[in-house]
Structure 1
Amino acid sequence: MQIGNVKIETNVALAPMAGVTDLPYRLLAKEMGCGYLVTEMVSAKAILYNNKNTDDLMVMDNKEHPIAIQLFGSDPEIMANMARKIAIEKKPDIIDVNMGCPVPKVVNNGEGSSLMKNPKLVEQIVTAMVKACPIPVTYKIRTGFDDTCINAPEIAHIIEECGGAAVAVHGRTRAQYYSGKANWDIIRKVKERVSIPVWGNGDVTSGIEAKRMLDETGCDGVMIGRAARGNPWIFREIKEYLETGKIVERPSYEEICDMIVRHASMLCEYKGEFTGVREMRKHFAWYTAGIKHAAALRNEANHVTSLDGMKSLVEKMREELSKI
């Protein structure tokens, strides 16, 4: 897939997720075959006002390319100026814009998926950003705001007309949040409406589902969000299935245990032990979802306060799983 001047070798992407797609997790996804990475979303206003926390969100590793830094906001001038600033200073391959976030504090501020209700403002934002930014600018949208406003094809057309380089479509409205079934038909209609690359996002949990989305919608690539939580192996599975038609076996309990230790160690190295261990608790829950007798282990994980404690818990888990 080609987005502007950026070549993406494998058309499987990691969707941006706040509190999930930080540097350590992105590196794991990349190792597993993910072709394109996107950071957690960063407020354009926060960058403008030099909020210290935003710098941490934009740290990248050389091994991550191609990667996009994702911005959110609603002021065309601020969005344009911050896109240019970040493109020059941080040197991502792409600037992505979140027009799909459903969280109330974002939507109530006229940002995220609220923009789906305002095509004129979308036009102003895209026009300003594309003019100011020296690298490709892409946009992530939803099917619409709610059932009365299913307008993704129209919004995608505006994005293309104003110079946007690609669009990712989450097949749900803002009103749905993450519930119900993703509407792949709207993704297909977006692809039919525009000639720029289209990422399809929503309900892809396997290589078979990824292939089905590509076939049914005609989209250029699949973007994986919640199915990647606690499951970096999904990128290996999808890549292999799309390239060879082979179904890769799910990771063994040993692989899962090893990955938890590695992920925890990377988080502690990157964020410090205090923060890293606490953030690892939710990842531990995702890694162990669906594993028999893991509920008690998840409860224990919520009380772990050190990396050694997390490693000890994983060894206990390894021993218990060996008996299954």
Structure 2
Amino acid sequence: MPTTAPVRPPLRLGDLEVATPVVLAPMAGVTNAAFRQLCAEQGAGLYVCEMITSRGIVEGDPVSLRMLSFAEAESVRSVQLYGIDPVYIGNAVRILCEQYGVGHVDLNFGCPVPKVTRKGGGAALPWKATLLGEILTEAVRAARPYGVPVTMKTRKGIDDDHLTYLDAGRIAQEAGCAAIALHGRTAAQHYSGRADWESIATLKQAVDIPVLGNGDIWEAADALAMVEQTGADGVVVGRGCLGRPWLFRDLAAAFAGDTRTVMPTLGEVAGWMRRHAELLAADMGEGRGCIEFRKHIAWYLKGFRAGGQMRHALATISALADLDALLADLDHDEPYPEAELGKPRGRQGSPKRVALPDGWLASREVARIDPAAEDATSGG
């Protein structure tokens, strides 16, 4: 098989240039400063912080503001923002730019979680076209004096009978957004089934701003295939990097024209595990950092022969010394389980009817959305 591919150009978002056209998708409880740094150490890209609500920022919610933590190495501070009110969105963007030095803002309209959509938020909101335009316009207006690009992420629509992505692309372009990212699933699909890459190609043909593709990128080869098949300007990677920060190394190489892949041994994976825990400890303190790291154990060891006793011990560590002792007992020469390549990681779920406010689908317009729709649940 050939080991070279065309070198892909950088991703341009306004005046911001991303050398490798790869974006880390925000994932709640995962893409904190430590994980972003770990991934960024593998290769260039845009590494986006966990999603934060506009109300949380404007009202000074301590939990929300603590999420605005960035590693020293993050040359571009990228934040995903979610909100349902144009005024709050505009104020939040100004705060991010003025007080936190944020260099990129992404607006999330892809969450399919019922407690969000039943109030009209998340992936349900793009159905209300005028409100979507008002939100995007206000975000762009607020960011413009600082030269900060605003992008948006969305899904195909609510379900196959209520698609919104083409309208959303047009609205984003008219509002002045620097790009739009499309997850090739409807809200009804959640994370089940296969992503519809054809919808990404259709959107690319419909707008002039850059289009980023999201969905079912498990290996670097998937990213190259998506770009080739859809014409997308870059990719957004979420679940595929869980327990696999080296995926960004492979992505950087692939977009630079080198498609050779060298799978890590368990010993090399153990090295990334130690580095991840170390970064968490430096950011949060050793005790809390070790507890936070526990959730990642199953992802790192997926497919390896490490037994239940070892997995349980790793999942209960409370100090880096404990982690070191356990990692030393792993078979460092064990090869990577190739049967896991190309397989879905993380949540999948099953298709389900989308919970919506009464009468939501009767009109594309809305005067007001329940403030409870601005929930900090992340997804897309």
TM-score bracket, normalised by the shorter chain, equals: over 0.9
The Cα of 1:293 is off from its aligned counterpart by: 3.5
Distance in 2 between residues matched to 1:51 and 1:293, nearest whole Å: 41
Question: Alignment partner for residue 172 of structure 1, among 161, 177, 185?
Answer: 185
The structure in which a higher percent of residues are helix is 1
Q: 2:376 corresponds to which residue?
A: none
Post-superposition shift, 1:116?
Answer: 2.6
Q: CA deviation at 1:294?
A: 4.1
Q: Say whether 1:16 aligns with 2:26.
A: yes
Mean CA deviation greater in 36-45 or 53-62: 53-62
Which structure has the higher relative contact order (CA within 8 Å, separation 6+)?
A: 2
Q: Contact 1:36/1:65 (CA < 8 Å) preserved in 2? A: no
Superposed CA deviations along residues 140-173 of structure 1, whole A, max 9, x for unmatched, are 1111112221221111111111111111111111
Task: Say whether the 8 Å CA contact 2:221–2:259 is kept in structure 1.
Answer: no
Contact 2:306 2:330 in 1 (8 A): no
Match of 1:199 among 197, 200, 212: 212
Separation in structure 2 between the aligned mates of residue 250 and residue 205 of structure 1, nearest angstrom: 14
**Matched residue count:** 323
Note the 1:218-257 alignment, pairs <5 A. Answer: 218-257=231-270
Gaps of 5+ in 1: none
- What is residue 282 of structure 1 aligned with on the other side? 295
Q: 1:143 aligns with which of 156, 180, 191?
A: 156
Listed one character per residue, the Cα deviations across residues 21-68 of structure 1 (whole Å, up to 9, x for unaligned) are 110110111111141111100011111221111122111234223342
Q: What is the alpha-carbon distance in structure 2 between the residues aligned to residue 235 and residue 274 of structure 1?
A: 28
Match of 2:94 in 1: 84
Matching of residue 52 in structure 1 with residue 62 in structure 2: yes
Question: 2:132 is matched with which residue?
Answer: 122
Q: Which amino acid in 2 is paired with 1:112?
A: G
Describe the superposition over 1:234-275 as per-residue Cα deviations: whole angstroms up to 9, x where unpaired.
Answer: 111122122223322111211101111111111111112232
Q: Distance in 1 between matches of 2:333 and 2:221?
A: 32
Paired with 2:75 and 2:186, the residues of 1 have a C-alpha distance of 30
Distance verdict in 2 for CA 1:65–1:199, change over 3 Å: farther
* Range 186-195 or range 112-121, more displaced: 112-121
Amino acid at match of 2:263: R
TM-score normalised over the length of structure 2: 0.81
1:210 to 2:220 alignment? no
Q: Give the % identical residues.
A: 35
CA shift, 1:85, in A, is 1.2
Question: 1:38: which partner in 2?
Answer: 48
Q: Out of 106, 112, 121, which is 2:122 matched to? A: 112
CA distance in 2, matches of 1:270, 1:160: 38
5+ long unaligned stretches in structure 2: 1-10, 338-380
**Structure 2 CA distance, aligned partners of 1:240 and 1:319?**
25
Give per-residue Cα distances to partners, 1:83-136, cap 9 Å, x unaligned: 111111111211111111222333334332121322221011011111122321
Work out the CA distance in 2 between the residues paired with 1:191 and 1:309: 50
Return the alpha-carbon distance in structure 2 between the equivalents of residues 227 and 30 of structure 1. 15
Specify the SS of the correspondent of 2:256. helix
| 1:159-201: CA deviation from partner (whole Å, max 9, x where unpaired) | 1111111111111111111111001011111111111111111
Superposed, which structure 2 residues align to 1:248-267 within 5 Å?
248-267=261-280
Question: 1:73 corresponds to which residue?
Answer: 83
Are the structure 2 counterparts of residues 320 and 294 from structure 1 closer, same or farther at C-alpha, using a change threshold of 3 Å? farther
Closer, same or farther: CA 103–193 of 1 in aligned 2, 3 Å? same
CA distance in 2, matches of 1:24, 1:191: 33
Distance in 2 (CA, whole Å) between partners of 1:65 and 1:307 is: 28
TM-score (structure 1 length as normaliser)? 0.94
C-alpha root-mean-square deviation of aligned residues, in Å?
1.8
